[in-house]
Amino acid sequence: MQPVALTTERLTLDALINADVDVMTSYCQDTVLKEAVPIPWPYEREHADGFINELAPQWWAESSEFTWAIHRSGDPLLLGVVGFNVKSSALGYWLGAPHRGNGFMPEAVAAVVSWLHSVGHTDIRWEAIVGNVASARVAEKVGFEYTGTAPALGQFRDETHPLCWHARLTADNAETAEPAHAALPWPT
């Protein structure tokens, strides 16, 4: 599959490009990301280069994972990334520190979820390391229903499956910003 571009009121989500390598390398020096996202550590330029120029295009071509760069419309500066793993149906995301707190991520994730539902991915999963309240707030705003705490779906850099908060969003509950009958309250 070729990468699919998505747009929102303020954002463009499209394929990562070589021009994003240095910015991604800079953002991934953030210890907040180190603790929350299974990125290599220490994070070096070669990691961003391989992810952007090899892995993400390969995953799109195989239709195994869809990865979007988040940009303000008309601005080439990378803000962050949203990714969806087809096998696990898991959605993940992160923003560079200078761009957090502006409502970009709920807007980007909502666009991705809408597209995923439109192409037949009706059951989407989310997880975040226990304590990642910012990620949980995004998932909650987009309409995910919190389902509890369990080991991570995938391995982290130390080959463990740390405890994570989990949630899911089906096409049935995607219409509301806050699910009417969530089984469990969201963690705070």
Are the C-beta atoms of residues 156 and 60 closer than 8 Å to each other? no
By C-alpha distance, which of 110, 80, 75 is closest to 98? 80
Query: For the segment 92-127, what is each residue's pLDDT rounded down to a tens digit?
Result: 999 999 999 999 999 999 999 999 999 999 999 999
Name the β-bridge partners of 125: 90, 168
Domain residue limits at 48 = 6-170
Give the model's pLDDT for residue 33.
85
The tokens for 141 are: 């705003």
Helices (DSSP H) in the chain: which residue ranges?
21-27, 31-36, 45-50, 56-62, 104-118, 133-142
Query: For the segment 137-149, what is each residue's pLDDT rounded down to a tens digit?
Result: 999 999 999 999 9
Q: In three state form, how does the secondary structure of 26-47 look? A: HHCCCHHHHHHCCCCCCCCHHH
When divided into structural domains, the chain yields a total of 1
Question: What is the domain-level CATH number for residue 119?
Answer: 3.40.630.30
179 in a structural domain: no
90 in a structural domain: yes
186 in a structural domain: no
Residue 177 pLDDT class (50, 70, 90 cuts) = very low
183 in a structural domain: no
**Enclosing H/E stretch for 127:** strand 123-129
Give the model's pLDDT for residue 148.
95
165 in a structural domain: yes
177 in a structural domain: no
In whole angstroms, give the CA distance from residue 29 to residue 44: 8
182 in a structural domain: no
Query: For the segment 25-64, what is each residue's pLDDT rounded down to a tens digit?
Result: 999 999 888 888 888 889 999 999 999 999 999 999 999 9
89 in a structural domain: yes
